[in-house]
Structures are given as structure tokens and as C-alpha cells.
Amino acid sequence: MRAVMVGVMGLGALLVSFGIVFFLWAPATATSVPTPKTASAPAPAPAPSAQAARAAPIAAAFAESTGSIGSAPPPPARLPVSVAAAPACQGGADALGVSRTVEIDTTDGPGFGFEHFKQHDFLQPGEVVLTFDDGPWPHNTPAVLAALAANCTKAVFFPIGEHSMWAPEILRQVAAAGHTIGSHTWSHKDLAKLSVQDAKDEIEKGISAVHWALGAPAAPFFRFPALSHAPEMVTYLGERNIGIFSTDMDSLDFKIRKPDQVIASVLAKLKKNGKGIVLMHDFQRATAEAAPELLRQLKAGGYKVVFLKAKAPLQTIASYDGMILKDVKLPTLSDRPTSNVVRTIAN
């Protein structure tokens, strides 16, 4: 009996020793990071490297927007937290809704918006396309999403690349709510004032940044900053099969900065034109505050929202995918969303 007990104890010690060795070995193998590949020719974006996928959001919580496009965000005022997804629509028959969804074939880079392009007139009287530029931005973009969700309606968003990398969780909420996401350059520079190569870099870095933030391809929809259409870049976008979106009416909400005046601007221009693509900015606080009442008044005025979707997703260029990763600071090993890392346990 004594010999059996000694044997069992020896076997147990052996198993414990094996477990300790495995425990010490396993984390080292789990943290290896493959090197991302790059290429100079257009190609579908490769799956992000482990390091890129695990990179922590750079600044998911800023003070509300009061500055200009391209300025660095203020430092976070608190720990990064997830912004709640837009609530499900509860508007019922009173909601603005979506009257129809159209598919856009962006082959050869067609242009839309009568302010600059006259060829494609696809809206009927009373139809409106809602578009928002310059996000994603804390507080403001989620407020716009909540207003859209409460009215069961959809929009097209044209985010800035830098903003997308500062607040990727917010851009993912835009996608999760079912909106279409295009791009609006890397840093909102006037492309007409840049060299051809620098302008291409602005376009492609913006596209790659949006793809990185979403973890998925964006739509091949593009809007020029300040609606400044550099001819060489119009041609370049056509070669990339990216549709160009101007506008039928600009809300000028970046100048107005008061919610009631934003609403009055949009409604007055719609009354004059009868239909059209409306340009607004989810970056602007006044627009975020105006959104619920604006959508209510669009419904009361009999306007109908047309939602735009792309026929095919946009492929990034691999060399730019690698380039924008240099802007991801201090990557960590954690790949959990903020909502799983930070939670309120007491108020």
C-alpha cells in the first residue's frame, strides 16, 4: 500500500511540474506578431496584423468640438469608454423612415450633386439624401446617430481619416447602425492646393484609415474637402472607380453654429430646390443638437429620404495600409473593446 501511495504522489508531482512549464511557455507563443506585408499596386486590403488589430484606440473621448478641422484633439478628460450604440427605432408611423434605397455603380468615378455635377438626376420631387462630413467625433456623431435611429432613417457619412483613427469605436457604431460610410481625405486639406502626389496620399491615407477603423471596407464614395475639386484628382478617382459626391445644397452649418439656424437653412434650401443631396457635418455640435427637430420637420414637410448604397466595396492600397499604422501610437496586447475593459460599478 505504501508503495502505491508513493507512486501516486510521484505521478501527481510530475503532472504539476508539467503544468507549470506549460503555463510559463504559453503566453510567449501567444504574443508573437506577424509583420504586415505592403505592396505598391492596388490590391484588396490584407487582414490586419495582430499588432494593428490589438492597437488601443488613440483618443476615444475628447471634449466637444469647438476648434477647426485638422487640429489635434484635446487630451481625454476621462478614461476611454464606449459610447452606447444608437437606440432601436421607436418612432413608428411618425418616423421619417427611408422611402427607397438605391444602389450606386461607381465604375469610372461618376459625380453626384448639382452644385458641381449635372449628369445624374435620380431624385424625385420631395426626395432627400442626408449626408454628414468630418466625423467621427465624440458626443456629436453619437447624437446624430441617435436622432437618425429614432426616426428609422439612414444617411451617408464621409469621415476624415485622422478622426477615424482617433475614435474608431464611434465609426463602428455608424456602420453597426447600417449607414453608408465613404471617405473625406486623411486630414481635410484642400487637394487643389497640393501636388498631385500629396493629393493622392491624402485620398488614399483617408481610405486606409477608414478601413482600419471599421475593420472592413468602406464604400467607394468620396467627398472633396471644401468641395474643391482638383481636376487631376477627379480623374484619379475615376481610375480608382470611386464615386464623387458634391451636394445640391450646403447647410453651411460650419458657419452657423446655432441649431435653429441650421434647421432654417436646410428647410429654406429644400423649399427652393424641391429635392436634393443635403450636406451637413456630424463634427459640428449645432448640427448634432439640431438633428432631432430637423428630421421631425422633414417628416412634417412631406420629404422622403433616399438611402444610397454602393454596388461594390472599396479596395485599399496595401502600401497606404502600412503607412497609416505609423499613426497608431503605443499598441497594447489587449484586443478587448473598451466596454469590456471599463465599466461603471457605482454611481
Average pLDDT over residues 129-140: 97
User: What angle (nearest 5°) sits at the alpha carbon of residue 231, between those of residues 197 and 207?
Assistant: 50
Convert the pLDDT of each residue in 11-60 to its tens digit: 444 433 434 333 333 333 333 333 333 333 344 444 444 333 333 333 33
Question: What percent of the chain has pLDDT above 70?
Answer: 72
What is residue 54's predicted lDDT score, i.e. its pLDDT?
33
C-alpha cell at 50: 495582430
Q: Which spans in the chain are helix H? A: 2-30, 50-54, 140-150, 161-166, 168-176, 196-214, 231-239, 253-256, 259-273, 285-300, 318-324, 338-341
Say if residue 64's pLDDT is above 70: no
What mean pLDDT, rounded, does the chain reach? 80
Does 225 score more than 50 pLDDT? yes
Other residues' Cβ atoms within 10 Å of the Cβ of residue 58: 17
- As a whole number of angstroms, the distance between CA 196 and CA 2 comes to 86
State the pLDDT confidence band at 70, using cuts at 50, 70 and 90. Answer: low
Walk me through the domains of the chain, giving residue ranges and CATH numbers: 95-327 (3.20.20.370)
Question: Residue 68: what pLDDT?
Answer: 52
User: What nine digits make up the cell of 90?
Assistant: 421607436
* Residue scoring higher pLDDT (82 or 231): 231
CA distances from 182 to 38, 131, 221, 288 (A): 23, 10, 5, 20
Q: Which amino acid is at 14?
A: L
The DSSP letter of residue 183 is B
3-state secondary structure of 131: strand
Answer yes or no: are the C-beta atoms of 50 and 34 closer than 8 Å: yes
The tens digit of pLDDT for each residue in 257-285 reads 899 999 999 999 999 999 999 999 999 99
Over residues 59-82, mean pLDDT: 40
Instruction: Report how far apart the first and last C-alpha atoms of the chain are (Å, whole number).
Output: 61
Q: Which of 104, 124, 122, 100 has its CA nearest to residue 113?
A: 122
Distance CA 218, CA 41 (A): 19
3-state secondary structure of 259: helix
- Determine whether 340 is exposed, middle or buried from the number of CB atoms within 10 Å of its CB (0-12, 13-18, 19+): exposed
Q: How far apart, in whole angstroms, are the C-alpha atoms of residue 94 and residue 296?
A: 8
Going by pLDDT thresholds of 50, 70 and 90, the confidence category of residue 308 is: very high
CA angle 157, 194, 234 (to 5 degrees): 55
DSSP label of 227: G
Mapped onto helix, strand or coil, the DSSP state of residue 309 is strand
pLDDT on residue 329: 65
Q: How confident is the model at residue 251 (pLDDT cuts 50, 70, 90)?
A: very high
Q: Give the whole-angstrom CA distance, residue 24 versus residue 321.
A: 35
Confidence bin at 118 (pLDDT 50/70/90): confident
The position carrying cell 420637420 is: 297
Are 140 and 282 in contact by the 8 Å Cβ rule? The answer is yes
